[in-house]
Amino acid sequence: MKNIIVAIDGPAGAGKSTVSQIAADKLGFTYIDTGAMYRAVAYKALQQKAEVTDELIISVLPDIEITLKFENAKTKVFADGKEITAEIRTPEINKIVSKVAALVPVREKLTELQRKMGQNENVLMDGRDIGTFVFPNADVKIFLTASVEERARRRYEELKAKGFDVNLKEIEKDIAKRDKLDSEREMAPLKKADDAILLDTTGLSIDEVVEKIITLCENAR
């Protein structure tokens, strides 16, 4: 039986990582959070303690080593051997990650890594360009979305639960800005693949979304 590749794309705050990890665990697939990889590059850029310019971001690329470990329905993210799972989910990272992801050298390097990761096993991979660019021949393509207001509310509650002092209206503005940057970038912009299934999660519970994803994947086996 051939390996199955599942591509889940969608904008910031759509809940891709949350539902994808649970679905992959239930299916027995390897989950690859490509967004975490871009966040890892953003994290390393911030560690340079200098203005985050395009040149600075590109300068950290040659030496960065990114590792993802998926166990018990959770992904641990490592950069250069150090676990940074929590550190990459901060408002500071949120503000610059689309800028990082828009740079062609960054996308080229991480796309190559992502394609290698998806070669030899059943994989569920989420991001912004998986079904359109990284794996255009994926067996299942899903475009996961929700209203800006719903995505902002989810991000607000997530950050508040972690102890961050955040403003809901500011998060709405940031998400709308990220949508614009992601959809207008030069290389592999965010868009729904022509053959992707649109799944609007507004008003749906995590369990309901997971079940829909599992059903689509099982039908592809």
CA distance 207 to 32: 20
- CATH of 5-220, picked from 2.40.440.10, 3.90.1640.30, 3.40.50.300, 3.40.50.720, is 3.40.50.300
d(CA 163, CA 15): 20
The predicted model gives 165-169 an average pLDDT of: 96
pLDDT > 70 in the chain, percent:
100
Rounded to an integer, the average pLDDT of 172-178 is 94
Model's pTM, two decimal places? Answer: 0.89
Average pLDDT over residues 189-195: 95
So where are the chain's domains? 5-220
Predicted pLDDT at 1: 58
Encode burial over 99-122: b for 16+ CB neighbours within 10 A, e otherwise: bbbbbeebbebbbeebeebbeeeb
